[in-house]
């Protein structure tokens, strides 16, 4: 009988050891799972912080670029206004006819200039290389794309190329044909504009081609100034949006 009773005790003991082993192994698995989960969560948290920091750095650079662009476009407008004023004075004399006064030589030289915008886009180019998804706010992302891909691209591309095409195909040939450069060397600085012109025959010319070309040149400058003012307003709005986004974060 005692021998017969030992089998259930042995079986119970064996079963207990099995369950303890299972519990131990399960605990080990649980600890490993928790450890992996915490490691992944920590890594994700670090990655998220890295992405947020990168986004802030990019937007800070872009905001600085936009502030510089506002200054650049404002200076363009100021210069263009002086060129338009010179063009209007020169046009008045051309349309009046008669002897060309020496006092307008430098004025006519100024009337033939215009500005080309040089915009800062380094921050946006870095964003494009990284991927636009780096900006988490979709509205801000769309605003940046519109400003750079449409507004800035038109100012520095289509509009500037059209102005150069007009200068090279219309205005420059007339300058070579009808005007004499009084000062051949270029000015030491843009503010001097030492180059001056006068009609080759000493008069304002009879066929009116120069006046027509100068009037078209003036119109193009005015159109460019209006577009630059619109671009300034858009640039300032996007810069404010960036600043609000950074301060909210």
Alpha-carbon distance of 56 to 41, in angstroms, equals: 22
Q: Would you state the structure tokens that stand for residue 152, as one six-digit string?
A: 């800035």
Q: How far is Cα of residue 206 from the mean position of the Cα atoms in its chain? A: 46
54-87 burial string, b = 16+ CB within 10 Å, else e? Answer: ebeebbebbbebbeebbebbeebbebbeebbebb
pLDDT digits (tens), the chain, 249 positions: 455 545 555 555 565 566 666 666 666 666 666 666 655 655 555 556 777 788 999 999 999 999 999 999 999 999 999 999 999 999 998 888 788 888 888 898 889 888 999 999 999 999 999 889 889 999 999 999 999 999 999 999 999 999 999 999 998 898 888 888 876 455 555 445 557 888 877 655 556 888 899 999 999 999 999 999 999 999 999 999 999 999 987
Instruction: Give phi and psi for 205, each to the nearest 5.
Output: 85, 150
**Per-residue confidence (pLDDT) for residue 141, from 0 to 100:** 95
Of 209, 247, 239, 246, nearest in space to 66 by CA: 239
């Amino acid at each position: 009988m005692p021998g017969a009773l030992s089998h259930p005790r042995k079986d119970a003991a064996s079963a207990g050891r099995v369950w303890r082993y299972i519990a131990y192994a399960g605990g080990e698995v649980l600890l490993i799972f928790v450890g992996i989960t915490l490691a992944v969560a920590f890594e994700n948290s670090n990655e998220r912080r890295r992405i947020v920091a990168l986004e802030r750095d990019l937007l800070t650079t872009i905001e600085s670029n936009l502030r510089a662009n506002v200054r650049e476009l404002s200076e363009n407008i100021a210069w263009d206004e002086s060129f338009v004023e010179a063009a209007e004075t020169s046009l008045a004399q051309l349309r009046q006819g008669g002897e060309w006064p020496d006092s307008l030589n430098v004025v006519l030289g100024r009337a033939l200039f215009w500005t080309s915008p040089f915009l800062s886009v380094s921050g946006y180019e870095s964003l494009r290389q990284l991927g636009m998804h780096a900006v988490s706010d979709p509205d801000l992302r769309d605003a940046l794309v519109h400003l750079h891909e449409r507004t800035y691209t038109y100012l520095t591309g289509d509009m500037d190329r059209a102005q150069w095409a007009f200068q090279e195909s219309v205005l420059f040939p007339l300058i070579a044909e009808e005007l004499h450069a009084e000062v051949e060397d270029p000015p030491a600085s843009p503010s001097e504009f030492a180059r001056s012109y006068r009609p080759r025959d000493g008069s304002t010319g009879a066929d009116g081609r120069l006046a027509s070309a100068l009037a078209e040149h003036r119109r193009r400058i005015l159109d460019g100034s209006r577009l630059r003012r619109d671009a300034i307003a858009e640039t300032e709005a996007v810069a404010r949006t960036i600043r609000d986004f950074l301060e909210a974060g």
